[in-house]
Amino acid sequence: MDISHLIELANDSGGTLYVMLVLLLVALTVIIERTRHLSSMEKGGAAMIAMLKTDRGQSDALVLPEKLTKLPHARLFEVLQNEPANANRDSFDGHLEEAIMHEVPVLDRSLWILDTVITLAPLLGLFGTIVGMFNAFHVLADAQSGAAQITGGIAEALIATASGLLIAIIGLVFFNALHTRVRTIVHQLETIKIMLVNRHNRLAVKAQGGAAPVELVRAPVRA
């Protein structure tokens, strides 16, 4: 099957194979971009949780590496920095929850595009197959047309449906994988929130005894 034959099949499908090619490229773009971005978020969140476990509220300052300050998890540390030492637990918990609510919509950005491709690709494939079958049965008007020519046209028309299903299967697998990553990151945010609330309470007790107030320190950027 050469390029010219593929172009002929695309034309016989009413142009839907061209549209599905665009859908495949869009889906792959979203998959690659979201996978890299969410993977970076997940690793950064795990590093922050490990940092909090190691510190256990024993120091009065948190050293947050510069590369982690751009992640959604860093917004929770900024809330800790701006929260008064004498703030009660419920108030601090509410401020952290508010910060999480602001960051969650950023996590599943562009996933709606992948969801649309998963739904649209099989429908376009079915439409292309119907158009192709119209063309295949059109040869019945020619008395010299054989059965092999008709069945061959139907088989070629089914390529559109197969292409749409293939795109939907690929998109669905990665859509579920990306949603799993999003849920993992949300769980990390909730975990960091609990850890910061507990840490703030311990530091508040220390502050009443004359300890230094809570401070967020960012590690300097190395040249």
Domain membership of residue 200 (yes or no) is yes
Q: How far is CA 40 from CA 1, 31, 65, 71, 107, in A?
A: 41, 14, 14, 9, 12
> Which amino acid makes up residue 68?
L
Interatomic CA distance for residues 146 and 50, integer angstroms: 71
Which tokens go with 55?
């510190």
Domain membership of residue 14 (yes or no) is yes
- Are 93 and 197 contacting, i.e. CB atoms less than 8 angstroms apart? yes
Domain count, the chain: 1
How is the chain split among helix, strand and coil, in percent rounded to 5? 80, 5, 20
- Are 185 and 41 contacting, i.e. CB atoms less than 8 angstroms apart? yes
Report the predicted TM-score, pTM, of the whole model to 2 decimal places: 0.76
The domain in which residue 144 lies consists of 3-218
User: What's residue 205's pLDDT?
Assistant: 53
Domain membership of residue 122 (yes or no) is yes
Provide block-wise average pLDDT over 10 residues at a time, the chain (223 residues).
64 75 94 94 91 67 76 87 79 90 88 94 87 70 54 69 92 95 94 86 54 44 46
Q: What angle do CA 202, 203, 207 make, to 5 degrees?
A: 125
Environment class of 168 (CB within 10 Å of its CB; exposed 0-12, middle 13-18, buried 19+):
buried
Domain membership of residue 71 (yes or no) is yes
Domain membership of residue 132 (yes or no) is yes
Question: Could you give the count of Cα atoms lying within 13 Å of 38 in the half-sphere of its Cβ?
Answer: 26
